[in-house]
Amino acid sequence: MAGQKSLKLNFIMNAILTMSSFIFPLITFPYVSRILLPEGTGKVSFATSVISYFAMFAQLGIPTYGIRACAKVRDNRKELTKTAQEIFIINFVMTILAYMVFFVGLFTVPRLRQDKMLFIIVSTTLLFNAIGMEWLYKALEQYTYITVRSIIFKFIALIAMFVLIHEKSDYVVYGGISIFAASASNVFNFVYAHKYVGMKPIGEYNFKRHLKPIAVFFAMSCATTVYTNLDTVMLGFMKTDTDVGYYNAAVKIKNILVSVVSSLGTVLLPRASYYVEHDMLNEFKRITSKAINFVWLVAPPLVVYFILYAKEGIVLLSGDAYLGSVSAMQLIMPTVFLIGLSGVMGIQILVPLGRERIVLHSEIAGAIVDLIINWMFIPSMASVGAAIGTLVAEAVVTVWQFVALRDTVTVAYREVHYLPIIIGVLLGGAASVWVKSLCWMEFPALALSAILFFGVYALVLTLAKEPMTMEIEKYALGKLRRRFKRADHRQN
């Protein structure tokens, strides 16, 4: 495998990227949410969710398909160039069509005309996504580049947040800075791409070979976008911007945790696709088993901790004005675990195996369930109803994929050490819950409770000699020993 990157390096880079995605909102959102209040953040969240539907049509399913297609031919520059150019052209043509439909909607739908400038600014994500070719860099496992580039732009955006946002009416500026942080770096992706693929049109394109798999991935993208954004969109149309703001505060915390749980699985798709393409099935099974074990190890404690400390987390991140978010957050937290498992089974196992239709069917089922439950509960329960819809939809998706994969993943699930995880979560919760009785401010309460909860959890796993915990600790200790040896060597 020419130029193969270390999975450990990829994981570390993706972990740093995940941490930056965690730290950025942790620093900025407490400031922004207190200025814009639920109404302002709700407007931006609603616009972002609406634009996600146009992005869905513009990208078709290329963000996932492109990784698999390019990963298979990455050892052949000529074939990689042809594949990348074909996918890019399809993506760009669809982006133009999506913009045409967007502007028609912008001038004809009253709800969109209310915040025309905000929608136009947020829609620039369509163009940035098209030229960014993120799928190419992930297929080539360029996680160091992706991480460094992302952190630089997030840091610039962080400064801009504090410099430019001072009033409730600055929600349009907030929308623009958010897009800048997430997508503006894609301009550099386009410029930098010549290092890996030829930029001159090579002609003799075969677009037809991509259309059938892209159609399946597009259908998957449709289903995913529907049930991940439907709650916010339906809240925006059926209730108020304030209700959307409450829900957005809960979802923001959930998304941060999902990125942590999914950090290992994210780096495995190109490697898994390569292993399947080259009939290295033992290696494929090994890394997918590790990904499932990682989700079980990380997700349950995060879910339980943030259910226990939902109020403190919301108030710290968003302020007292968002107390209406607490119930929605507690209901939506289990989706962190469900999304972690379905992400591994769907994207890291089914897609490389070419069984993406199962992923599609599971997501269609989830979307239908989400639509029905949202329609039933949002009118009377607002953000809580949306949280219920999302929770049930994610459960449907996860169970569907597990049933379809039961013969493949049963061995991986049997390797998970459930007892230490359960005992660790229970003891961690018992060790930390008394902190609530201290009536401290949110930050010290969360800091002390987190140290107790996750400290006890890690201790239980260590005493039980849980294999992945031992592997992580051995790797970390090895790094420290080598660092100390180098330091001693320099001194001597």
- State which of 416, 444, 468 marks the end of a domain: 416
Domain range for 98: 7-416
Angle at 238 between CA 235 and CA 239, to 5 degrees: 70
16 in any annotated domain? yes
- One DSSP character per residue, 333-365 reads TTHHHHHHHHIIIIIIIITTTT-HHHHHHHHHH
Clarify whether residues 391 and 275 are in a common domain.
Answer: yes
**Structural domain contains residue 474:** yes
Q: Is residue 276 part of a domain?
A: yes
Q: What is the mean pLDDT of residues 391-419?
A: 89
Is residue 269, in this structure, part of any structural domain at all? yes
312 and 432 fall within a common domain:
no
pLDDT at position 421 is: 94
Is 240 in the same domain as 325?
yes
Q: Is residue 432 predicted with pLDDT exceeding 80?
A: yes
- How many whole angstroms separate alpha carbon 346 and alpha carbon 362? 9
- Is a pLDDT exceeding 80 seen at residue 226? no
In angstroms and rounded to an integer, the radius of gyration of the C-alpha atoms of the chain is 23
**Same domain for 336 and 458?**
no
Tally the domains of the chain. 2
Going by pLDDT thresholds of 50, 70 and 90, the confidence category of residue 10 is: low
Burial class (CB in 10 A: 0-12, 13-18, 19+), 477: exposed
Match 């993120």 to its residue by tokens: 134
Chosen domain end from 360, 383, 416: 416
Which pLDDT belongs to residue 2?
41
- CA 348, 264, 150, 255 torsion: positive or negative? positive
Determine if residue 119 is left, alpha or beta; phi over 0 gives left, psi from -120 to 50 gives alpha, anything else beta: alpha
Report if residue 434 sits inside a domain.
yes
Buried b (16+ CB within 10 A) or exposed e, 437-454: eeeeebeebbeebeebbb
Does 377 lie in the same domain as 261? yes
Q: What is the pLDDT of residue 326?
A: 92
Last residue of a domain, one of 373, 389, 416: 416
| Residue 6 binned pLDDT confidence (cut-offs 50, 70, 90) | low
> Does the structure show a pLDDT above 50 at 80?
yes
Does 269 lie in the same domain as 249?
Answer: yes
The two tokens of residue 408 are: 């493949």
pLDDT, position 490: 65
Region 188-194 average pLDDT: 82
Residue 426 sits in the same domain as residue 475: yes
Q: Name the strand (E) or helix (H) holding 316.
A: helix 310-318
The pTM of the full predicted model, rounded to 2 decimals, is 0.70
Q: How confident is the model at residue 3 (pLDDT cuts 50, 70, 90)?
A: very low
pLDDT given for residue 14 in this prediction: 63
pLDDT, residue 473, reads 75
pLDDT confidence band for 1 (50 / 70 / 90):
very low
Report, as an integer, the average pLDDT of 402-417. 86
Range with the largest mean pLDDT of 212-221, 392-401, 477-486: 392-401
The candidate with the shortest Cα–Cα distance to 249, out of 393, 441, 33, 21, is 33
Same domain for 63 and 191, yes or no, is: yes
pLDDT, position 30: 81
158 pLDDT above the threshold of 80: yes
Can you tell me which residue has the tokens 């992580």? 472
pLDDT of residue 372: 92
pLDDT band at 12 (very low <50, low <70, confident <90, very high): low
Query: Is the per-residue pLDDT at 170 higher than 50?
Result: yes
Residue 104 lies in a domain: yes
pLDDT(88) > 70:
yes
Euclidean distance between CA atoms 256 and 293, whole angstroms: 20
Residue 1 lies in a domain: no
Cα–Cα distances in angstroms (integers) from residue 341 to residues 144, 346, 396, 407, in the given order: 25, 8, 12, 16
Residues 321 and 439 in one domain: no
More confident residue, 93 or 140: 93
Residue 307 is predicted with a pLDDT of 94
Q: Are residues 19 and 150 in the same domain?
A: yes
Are residue 337 and residue 423 in the same domain, yes or no?
Answer: no
Give domain status of residue 2, yes or no. Answer: no
DSSP helix/strand/coil, 184: coil
The string of pLDDT tens digits covering residues 257-270 is 887 787 655 555 55
Q: Are residues 358 and 215 in the same domain?
A: yes
Q: Is the pLDDT of residue 351 over 60?
A: yes
268-326 pLDDT, tens per residue? 555 555 665 666 767 777 777 888 888 899 899 999 999 999 998 898 888 788 888 89
